[in-house]
Amino acid sequence: MHGGQSVKVGVVSPLTNRGIGIQSYEAARNLDASVLHVETKDPSAPSHPERFPGATRTRWAQGLDPRIVIPWLRNLDVVYAAETFYDRRLTKWAKANNVTTVLHANPEFWTGADTPDLLWSATPWRQDVMPHHTEVVPFPVATDRFTNEPIFRRYDDRCRWVHIAGKRALADRNGTDALMAALPLLREPALVTIYVQHGEHPSLPVTPPHVSVCVAPGVPANYWDLYNGQDALVLPRRYGGLCLPVQEACAAGLAVLMPDLVPNGVWPGPRVPAEFLRKVTMPCGRVPVYDVKADVLAAAMDELADPVRRAEVQGESVAWAQAHSWEAQKPAWLNLLSR
């Protein structure tokens, strides 16, 4: 710390609408951080520099420009990044300037190449194979983005489901295929909205007349609008740690349906039995992925079609989000960052 002042935080962010972009955006906003905006050349994930007009901007081209990054670092006490610093040299530049580095790793991408001072994981998933000094530090929920509508929502007699397919990750991470297999088996009326990114489109099954499915290409400009007018999130994800859509859905007051796998017990809501499918090679090594049976998933969705049961689960979602909000968790975060 400089002269006993409050900790000066920097956040490395691509400022996109993808997971890392949203995570680092909310961290920077809630920590009043100085932002290093890393522009990447991915046309499918445009950046949004308007979110932090005063950010220091640098382009990523096989690495970062030290002439831009090092002067930015010199004004800070600690630098936070979600998943990646974009350049392995950044931790060395920070150390040379007495700046602490914190990496919130996604375990499937952890290779040991980065050398942060503090290594965090947002959930207990794969904690047994992460380095021994890894701390589980949950990522707070940006509850101020959402207005919780009344829990008993009756738009019509159908349960309105949302599924975030996004950009299809390795091994169908979000379980879009599992959902497709379940939809024809639903017995209760349902309206299912599936959000995909940039031109991806799942092949839709033939469903009975009481089940309507629509695919929404792209994501809204504001990620919190994904959940408008929805009752419940169905996400039969096959593996993974932190899941921002689940946290966002809780904040929006939706019921959440997921498989019964680590770390999904950290979030509220009913869980569907899952079975081991296979191991898939990821940057970190071989990772087990799981599957849920179509009839079991359909039955669990039908159970949440009951408005009384669903309202109970929605109430649990809202209570969980409030307890894990930035407002509630920020003091603990600042304490960790200032050590």
Mean pLDDT, range 247-275, rounded to an integer: 97
| pLDDT at residue 3 tops 80 | no
Structure confidence by residue, pLDDT tens digits, 305-330: 999 999 999 999 999 999 999 999 99
Residue 22 carries which DSSP code? Answer: H
Cis check for the bond before 263: say yes or no (omega within 30 of 0).
yes
CA of residue 119 relative to chain centroid, distance: 18
Task: Report which of 27, 82, 68 is spatially closest to residue 51, judged by C-alpha positions.
Answer: 27
| pLDDT at residue 197 tops 90 | no
Residue 185 pLDDT grade (very low, low, confident, very high; cuts 50, 70, 90)? very high
Q: Above pLDDT 90, what percent of the chain? A: 83
Residue pair 112/131 in contact (Cβ under 8 Å)? The answer is yes
CA dist 95 and 74 (Å) reads 10
Residue 172, Ramachandran bin (φ over 0: left; ψ between -120 and 50: alpha; else beta): left
Cβ neighbour number for residue 63 with a 10 Å cutoff: 13
| pLDDT at residue 218 tops 60 | yes
State the greatest distance between any 2 C-alpha atoms of the chain, in Å, as a whole number: 68
The letter for the amino acid at 254 is L
Place of tokens 């009951």: 306
Ranking 42-46, 92-96, 294-298, 331-335 by mean pLDDT, the lowest is 42-46
Place of tokens 């407002």: 327
pLDDT at 45: 84
Ranking 166-180, 272-286, 304-318 by mean pLDDT, the lowest is 166-180
CA of residue 22 relative to chain centroid, distance: 8
- Residue 269, helix vs strand vs coil: coil
Work out whether the CA dihedral 29, 33, 34, 39 comes out positive or negative: negative
pLDDT at 217: 81
| pLDDT at residue 1 tops 70 | no
Phi, psi of 244, deg, nearest 5: -60, -40
Residue 257 structure tokens: 């349906």
| pLDDT at residue 171 tops 90 | no
pLDDT at 201: 78
Burial of 72 (0-12, 13-18, 19+ CB in 10 A): buried
Place of tokens 């996004």: 166
Residue 154 pLDDT grade (very low, low, confident, very high; cuts 50, 70, 90)? low
Task: Report which of 79, 61, 80 is spatially closest to residue 70, judged by C-alpha positions.
Answer: 79
- The full set of domains in the chain, from first to last, is 9-140+326-337 (3.40.50), 144-323 (3.40.50.2000)
Cβ neighbour number for residue 251 with a 10 Å cutoff: 25
Structure confidence by residue, pLDDT tens digits, 77-122: 999 999 999 999 999 999 999 999 999 999 999 999 999 999 999 9
Place of tokens 């509220």: 268
CA dist 234 and 197 (Å) reads 17
| pLDDT at residue 335 tops 60 | yes
| pLDDT at residue 156 tops 80 | no
Q: Output the CA torsion 175→178→183→188 (10° steps).
A: -80
Residue pair 10/34 in contact (Cβ under 8 Å)? The answer is yes
| pLDDT at residue 155 tops 90 | no
Helix, strand, coil shares, percent, the chain, to 5:
30, 25, 45
pLDDT at 149: 61
Distances (CA, A) of 212 to 205, 280, 339: 11, 33, 52
Residue 200 pLDDT grade (very low, low, confident, very high; cuts 50, 70, 90)? confident
pLDDT at 2: 44
Ranking 97-106, 183-192, 194-203 by mean pLDDT, the lowest is 194-203
CA dist 69 and 90 (Å) reads 8
Residue 166 pLDDT grade (very low, low, confident, very high; cuts 50, 70, 90)? confident
pTM for the structure as a whole: 0.94
